[in-house]
Structure formats: structure tokens, C-alpha cells
Amino acid sequence: MKKILPVAVLFFTVNTLFAQLHVRNQENSESIVPNYRLAEKFSSENIAKMVHSTSVQPKWLENGDRFWYQYKTSEGSRYYLVDPIKKSKTQLFDPVLMAKWLSEITRDPYSSKHLPKFDFEFVKNESAIRFRVESNEMVKVEEEDKVKKDSSETKMKSKKPKMEKKVYHLEYVLGGNGLRILDNTKKEKTNKSWANIAPDSSIVLFSKKHNMFWMDKENYLKALKDEKDSTIVEHQWTKDGVENFGYGGSGRGKNNEDLKKEKDDRKSIRGFWSHDSKKFVYEKSDSRHIGDLWVINSVKKGRPKLETYKYHMAGEQEFYKRALEVFDISNKSKIEVELDSTVQQTISILAHKYAKNDPAKHKPRMLLSKKGKIYFNTVSRDRKRLDVHVADLESGAVKTLIKEHSNTYIEHRGKEMRLFNNESEILFWSERDGWGHYYLYDAQGNLKQQVTNGEFHVHNFQGIDEGTRTVYFTANGVNKNIDPYYEHLYKINLNGSGMKSLNSGNFNSSTNLSESKKFFISNFSRVNTAPKSELRSNSGAKILDLEEADLSQLFAAGYQFPEPFKMKADDGITDIYGVIYKPFDMDSTKVYPMLQYVYPGPQTEAVNKSFSVRMNRTDRMAQVGFVVVTLGNRGGHPARSKWYHTYGYGNLRDYGLADKKYVAEQLADKHSFIDIDKVGIFGHSGGGFMSTAAMLVYPDFFKAAVSSSGNHDNTIYNSWWSETHHGIKEEKADDGSIKYEYMIDNNQSLVENLKGHLMLTTGDVDNNVHPGGTIRMVDALIKANKRFDYKVLPGQRHGYGKMTEYFFWMKADYFSEHLLGAKPDGVDYVEMNRSKPKNK
């Protein structure tokens, strides 16, 4: 007879076993030694030596559907010409012969594996290519003699001639047996950054002293040679421009001293040209009443430099006042488009899209319409109303075509409408039924029909074949058996029939459709497959295998693919997709702390879907000695559905945290190598905001965080991000005036909850997420008597620039100390210094 233990004894025994297991897990975790050498091996600099091209980027030729591309492997770069009709892929030239010819002509040594990067121009009915190379031979610079005057007389001052490297302008006839020297001229000077040149090049517009100026082609050619030429004739057009309410001349990103020095210089003016060059449309914005913001660059040469710029913060009552002006080039007059400038809204002018094989070198921004119309969107301050309008270029009269209203924000970025069929029809993208789909309208704004339909997300427009009335687009979530984030190319008839996948498969793809809509390049992979590229027809049939990325050196260095996974959100229903990255030297007898790399969206999620060589935040951090996980969350990526995308509306701080925690717990249940008692979290920008919030909302779960450049207090962040995704309320008073109410939770209100280890970082000249957001968090933590870490990266903007590598090792140190119990010693980051030559 079996002896049955009393319940109390059994309970004690089980708890003892769990306690012993917990201690053993702790010991196994603490015995992990941070592997900095392995993390060093996979730095961005080293990855660039091991992995080269991973996708085919076609350069479509003007005639037919042919294209050329360059692809680099460990054997060097190769250049190919592809003819889809002939189903052929041939090398543009023999690299061995090209190296021989260049060596003979320039007298510099060339190797077939080390050819320069060429920029080819196809000529002679695309039967030959022209290009330039620079030799090491020094020649005298040919320039006009400049006369210098002194106080008494004009003198020619002798000086040592200016020298430069000799240039060879060469031509190669495809299939030929040599190069022909055309001349030794350099490439034509690029246009001046301040010049907005009309499509027919007859006139150039620019900004000066906050006003619009113009010059003709003859004088602009003088400016190309010498901007200071005293014979240049320029004309002032407007006189009403003032600082922060003028025409062009943005000084964003420049300090006050430089702005003062450049106050009389020519500056750029952005706008839209009519196709016939007769009209110019400019969006004039009044920001004089918008508050200033400042950063100080303390590491610039000389005195610390103050930078002042206009910055509209969330919840502020004032807003930019915008108007559209139309300038008539011939008679130098202007009119205003009929808009109510007192309404708080943003304006987006819809632009013409150039053909991929358009050979023109000069491609100014032009209006969408070729028929004397301005198509534009207006979006209300609360982002719940989007209206599509058309204005007449001659009169400025406006007609509203489409009204799109929602109880949450309207997603429209990158979803511009398309005109076709001689501008008699409109293709419009909307999420009005809960999913992103296309709708067909006539030119008067009357809905003809919904084109795409179903529980999937239309992502990007690729083209319309007007002859067959077929629209090509990319979409997510059509195939319910694969990751809904995987993007594929589809086509459908404009009457809503015949939808077909053109590159189906269990992978993510990026596509490039030819102008004829007959062929496309499909670049595809998953995080755990090598990227491949192929050519397909518009029926979906494969024409050619083009390339497969060369990962041989990467695998030789010890690389291992990460693993995609699917778990449930905190609601137990919604599927959450993510990727798990492991140490390449993982010991199966040990348990590892988990790090979550986060970015909350809502405009995207920090989860790779394709193979990527950008490893600093994922693969590489895992090599230090962690299991790194990235995952989505409800309220994240817009490709899932409007419900998924707007889940966090009104709760922008906390909406994604429960999913992050619950998925981590599921992963630990599934994988015995994860130490659920040691979970760290890190992220940048919105991820900095989220990682700190995680430490404060779940202080007993998340044990350490590195939060970089976080918008911890969204009341001092830009109005677009938080007013859009969190929401702002419009309250109409009895007198008709509108007041805007904005309330959002910030991180500093929860500082009393902090239990774990938190490091906050910021760049001190971040003019996107201002350092003040981090400093307010620091202030609150100090007042709460909390221990934490705070680092400032001097002279750095939002992305940390050249200090990115240093910041990686800061994170590695912090998590090694607080999750592995291994505090790094020594002053130097040996891993950063080891590969650098010592020149002093």
C-alpha cells in the first residue's frame, strides 16, 4: 500500500523543490561570463566585411523592360544586364578585361575583384555605357584667372597652380573589346542646394531674407560657376515675408551664430510646379506664435553654440497657420487658394510620381495633375478628419471630393491617392471598414465601388495598368497561414474581381514593378533564411533566379539564425509575433537572462521580418550573454488591422506593457534556458519611453532597463506623435471658438515604483526628442530619492551618430553588471580599441 503524504507536507516539499530550482537557476545565470569578444566580432564594421549585397536594386532602362544592377559578394562587385523578354542575365562587361583596360588607360593598378563602384549612363540606344573614373595622376585645375584688387591698382598675383586628380570619361560598347576615352571632363556640377529649377529650366526660384526671389537660366549658369559673381542679376518677387512667416529658408539644425552669418545667403524654397512650368504652388506657414525651443552644443569649436528653433508641443492651444499660394511665372502675380486659415489643420499637396525609367536628370517636384489642378489633403488638428480637395490653379476655387472621418486617428501617411484614366478616376486608400483597402471614385468625388475587400491590409500602391484596368499593390495578412506582417505583391481588377498573389510564400518580400507592369523583381527572406532575389512576370510566373545573398563568411564566423515565434497577447486571443535571438555559444546546461528590445509604435514595431545585417540591438547584444527577444504588441504596427493599430488610443504610456510581460512569461514556460527572474528591457525614442514605463508599471518583473532618448513626458514632445496616437479633444465654446484638451500619463508620475536598475541617456543637442524629457525624469527620480544612472552623449542628435558603438558597450556593461553579476573592470573599452591602429 502506498503511503500518502499529508497535504501540508506535500505543499512544503513542492515549494522546497521550486525554491531549489530557483536558486539553481540563479547560480547558472550568474555563472555566465559576458562574451564581449563574440559581441565585438559582430560589430557593424565587421559585419560589413562579411555580408555585402542582400537585395537586387534594379535600374530600369528607358526602352523596353530591361534593367541593370550591381551585386556585391565576397568575390567583389559584378554588374548585370537583364532582359526579361529574352529571359537572360548577362554581365555588362568582363571584370577581368575591365580591370586590364582601366589599368592601361589610367596607369593605376586595377583588380577584377576591386573595381570601383560605377554609375553608368546608357547611350546609343542603350547599346553602350558611359562612366567616369578618377586616376591618381595630378593635373592642373582649369579655371578662369581671377583678378584681385588692392587699394591702388589691379594686380595679377602669381601663385602655385591648383592641382586635382585627372578624370577619364569613358565609353564601352556592350560586347566590345575595349574602352574609348571621350574626354577628361569632370561630371557636370550638381545644382545648387538653394535652387528650385522649373521643369523646363527657364527660371530658378529661391529664398532670400524670408522672401521669394528668382533669376533666369543665364544668370543661374553664372551662379553655378561662381555664386559671388557680381554680374548675376536676381529679382525679388515677394516683399511680405518675415522671419517664421516667409518663403523658404529653413534654418532647422543650425546654431544661432551660423544663422546670423548666413542671413543674407540664398536659401531653398520648396513647392510644387505645374507640369508646363507656368505656375508654382507654395504652402506658406505662419509659426511666429509657436514657442521656441533650444539646445546648446557644448563641444562645437569655440564658445558653446545655442540653437533656437520653433517646436509645437502636444496640447498647446496655438497651431501653425497655413495657406496655399499660387504664383504665376509669366506675370509675376499670385493668388491664394480658398482655405480658412483659422482652422487648425495640416495640408498635404499631392505630387506627381516620376516613372522609374524616366531618363531625366532634372526632376523637380510637380503637382499630381497635368490639367491645371491642385489636389491636396487637409487633416484636422485631432487627426480624426481627412478631406481630399481639388483647387483650380487660375482662380484658387476649392471643391471637396472625399470626406474621411473616424472616432480615432486616420492613418494616411504614404497612402496618397492616384489619378488615372486621363484624370477621370481616383484610386483612394481608406481604413473605413477596419482594414486598409482601395476605393474607386470618379473625378467628381462620387464613390464607384470598393476595389479590395476582406480581413487583410493593403500596404503600398505599385502601379495601374490602365489598358487592362488592373491595379498592383502589396498587402499583409491575405494568407492566414503565415505571419500577417509578411508583405507580398498582388493584382486585382478595378471592378474588384480577379485578385491574385504574384509572389506567394512563407516569407517577407520587397518588390519593384517595371513601368510596363509586365515584370517585377522580388527580394525575399525571413529572419532565418538567406535573402534571395528573382524576376517574375505579372502573372506570377518566375522568369529568372537573380541572386542569393552570400552569407558564407558570416556563418564561418559563428553566426546562427534567430527564431521567429507566435504567442498570445495578454487578452489570450490576439496573436503576437516576435523573434528570439540566442548567444551563438549557448550552453545548454545554463539559463540566460532575457532582454526585450522594444519600440511601441504605433507607426511600426521593432520586429525584423526579413534577414537583416543591422544586429546591434538584437543578434549582437545576445552574444554578450543574453536571450534577446523582440515582439509586437496590441496598438503596434498598422499592417494588422485598424483595431490592432489603434488599441492604445488614449493610453499611450501603458498600452503595450501587458503583452510584453505576458509573452515573456510564455517564452520562459516553453524554453528552460530563459531565466524569468532576470528580465531586462531596452529601447530608443518611443522605446526609451516604453522601457522606463515597463520598469515602473511592472517593477517586480522587469529588473533592469537602458532607456535612450525617451519621450518620458509627452507634453514637451512634438504634437504630431502623441496628439495623433494618444488623442486630443476638441471642445467647442458657445462663441464658436475651439479649445484643445490634452491629457497623457508621463513616466515621472510613477518614479516611486522603481525597484530595479535604470539607466537614462540622451544626446544633448537632440532637437527631436528634447533632452528636457529625460531631464524631467531625472529630476523626479532624484526627488524620490532613487538610485539610477544618467548619461549624456555630448554633441549628439537623436540617433547618437558616431557614438552609437560606444553606446552599445554602455548597454552591454549595464546589463552584464545587473543581470549577469559581472561588473566590467578597466577604463578602456578594449573591444573598441583592439582593431584600431595605434598611430601615436
Q: Three-class SS of residue 225? A: helix
Which DSSP helix (H) or strand (E) runs through 448?
Answer: strand 447-450
Indicate the number of domains in the chain: 4
User: What CATH number corresponds to the domain at position 542?
Assistant: 2.120.10.30
Q: Three-class SS of residue 464? A: strand
pLDDT for position 29: 54
What pTM did the predictor assign? 0.92
User: 462 lies in which domain range?
Assistant: 422-550
CA 678/CA 592 separation, integer angstroms: 8
**Residue written as grid cell 509627452:** 714
Q: Three-class SS of residue 667? A: helix
Q: Give yes or no for residue 14 having a pLDDT over 50.
A: no
The type of residue at 534 is E
- pLDDT tier, 560 (very low <50, low <70, confident <90, very high otherwise): very high
pLDDT for position 22: 43
List the single range of 132-146, 705-719, 806-820 with lowest mean pLDDT: 132-146
CA 220/CA 215 separation, integer angstroms: 6
What percent of the chain clears pLDDT 70, i.e. is strictly above it?
94
Segment 680-712, tens digit of pLDDT: 999 999 999 999 999 999 999 999 999 999 999
Are 574 and 535 members of one domain?
A: no
626 touches 592 (CB < 8 A): yes
Q: Three-class SS of residue 387? A: strand
Q: Give yes or no for residue 317 having a pLDDT over 60.
A: yes
59 touches 70 (CB < 8 A): no
Segment 369-388, tens digit of pLDDT: 999 999 999 999 999 999 99
- pLDDT tier, 250 (very low <50, low <70, confident <90, very high otherwise): confident
Are 475 and 566 members of one domain?
A: no
Residue 17 counted as domain residue: yes
Are 514 and 570 members of one domain?
A: no
pLDDT for position 27: 52
C-alpha cell at 351: 505630387
List the single range of 6-15, 21-30, 814-823, 824-833 with lowest mean pLDDT: 6-15
pLDDT for position 158: 58
Q: Count the helices and strands in the chain (H runs, E runs).
A: 15, 46
Please name which of 166, 172, 167, 148 lies closest in space to residue 158, comparing C-alpha atoms: 148
Instruction: Identify any residues that bridge with 272 across adjacent strands, giving them in sequence order.
Output: 281
Query: What is the pLDDT averaged over residues 602-615?
Result: 92
C-alpha cell at 306: 545655442
pLDDT for position 837: 83
pLDDT for position 151: 42
Which DSSP helix (H) or strand (E) runs through 389?
Answer: strand 385-392
pLDDT for position 28: 61
Determine the distance from the C-alpha atom of residue 197 to the mean position of all C-alpha atoms in its chain, rounded to a whole number: 27
CA 195/CA 189 separation, integer angstroms: 13
Residue 431 counted as domain residue: yes
Output phi, psi for 640, to 5 deg.
-80, -60
- Helix axes 686-697 and 657-670, enclosed angle (nearest 10): 70
CA 476/CA 674 separation, integer angstroms: 32
Residue 509 counted as domain residue: yes
Are 78 and 36 members of one domain?
A: no
Q: Give yes or no for residue 145 having a pLDDT over 60.
A: no
Q: Counting Cβ atoms within 10 Å, is residue 741 exposed (0-12), middle (13-18) or buried (19+)?
A: exposed
Query: What is the pLDDT averaged over residues 333-361?
Result: 94
Residue 6 counted as domain residue: yes
C-alpha cell at 423: 484624370
**Residue written as grid cell 491575405:** 478
- DSSP E strands in 203-344: the ranges are 203-208, 211-216, 235-236, 272-273, 279-286, 292-297, 305-310, 321-328, 333-336
CA 532/CA 509 separation, integer angstroms: 10
Residue 586 counted as domain residue: yes
Segment 386-414, tens digit of pLDDT: 999 999 999 999 999 999 999 999 998 77
Q: Give yes or no for residue 791 having a pLDDT over 80.
A: yes
551 touches 561 (CB < 8 A): no
Q: Give yes or no for residue 144 having a pLDDT over 90.
A: no
Are 713 and 738 members of one domain?
A: yes
pLDDT for position 601: 82
Give the CA distances from residue 229 to residues 150, 156, 225, 373, in Å, rounded to whole numbers and listed in that order.
18, 18, 8, 38
CA 24/CA 331 separation, integer angstroms: 85
Are 15 and 41 members of one domain?
A: no
Residue 350 counted as domain residue: no
C-alpha cell at 45: 564594421
pLDDT for position 20: 43
pLDDT for position 152: 43
Query: What is the pLDDT averaged over residues 607-617?
Result: 93
CA 28/CA 673 separation, integer angstroms: 10
595 touches 620 (CB < 8 A): no
Segment 116-134, tens digit of pLDDT: 999 999 999 999 999 999 9
Output phi, psi for 463, to 5 deg.
160, 165
Query: What is the pLDDT averaged over residues 513-534?
Result: 98
Q: Give yes or no for residue 461 having a pLDDT over 90.
A: yes
pLDDT for position 824: 87
**330: Cβ–Cβ under 8 A, 6 or more apart, which residues?**
278
Q: Give yes or no for residue 769 having a pLDDT over 50.
A: yes
The type of residue at 135 is S
CA 297/CA 255 separation, integer angstroms: 8
Among 505, 525, 550, give the residue marking a domain's end: 550
pLDDT for position 711: 96
Q: Three-class SS of residue 750? A: helix
Are 638 and 777 members of one domain?
A: yes
Which DSSP helix (H) or strand (E) runs through 695?
Answer: helix 686-697
pLDDT for position 611: 96
Instruction: Find the length of the chain.
Output: 840
Residue 378 counted as domain residue: no
Are 663 and 764 members of one domain?
A: yes
Are 466 and 546 members of one domain?
A: yes
Query: What is the pLDDT averaged over residues 55-73?
Result: 96
Query: What is the pLDDT averaged over residues 68-87?
Result: 96
- pLDDT tier, 659 (very low <50, low <70, confident <90, very high otherwise): very high
CA 539/CA 729 separation, integer angstroms: 48
DSSP 547-565: EE---HHHHHTT----EEE
Are 13 and 63 members of one domain?
A: no
Among 550, 582, 610, give the residue marking a domain's end: 550
Would you tell me how many other CB atoms lie within 10 Å of the CB of residue 295?
20
Are 106 and 176 members of one domain?
A: yes
Please name which of 341, 432, 358, 307 lies closest in space to residue 768, comparing C-alpha atoms: 307
The type of residue at 810 is M
Task: Output the 3-class SS for 769-825.
Answer: CCHHHHHHHHHHHHHCCCCCEEEEECCCCCCCHHHHHHHHHHHHHHHHHHHCCCCCC
385 touches 410 (CB < 8 A): yes
- DSSP E strands in 665-737: the ranges are 674-684, 702-708, 729-732
User: What CATH number corresponds to the domain at position 651?
Assistant: 3.40.50.1820
Are 721 and 735 members of one domain?
A: yes
C-alpha cell at 363: 526632376
CA 531/CA 72 separation, integer angstroms: 13
Residue 670 counted as domain residue: yes
Would you tell me how many other CB atoms lie within 10 Å of the CB of residue 450?
14
CA 205/CA 225 separation, integer angstroms: 18
Q: Give yes or no for residue 155 having a pLDDT over 50.
A: no
Average predicted confidence (pLDDT) for the chain: 93
252 touches 233 (CB < 8 A): no
pLDDT for position 154: 46
CA torsion through residues 807, 809, 814, 815, sign? positive
Among 513, 533, 550, give the residue marking a domain's end: 550
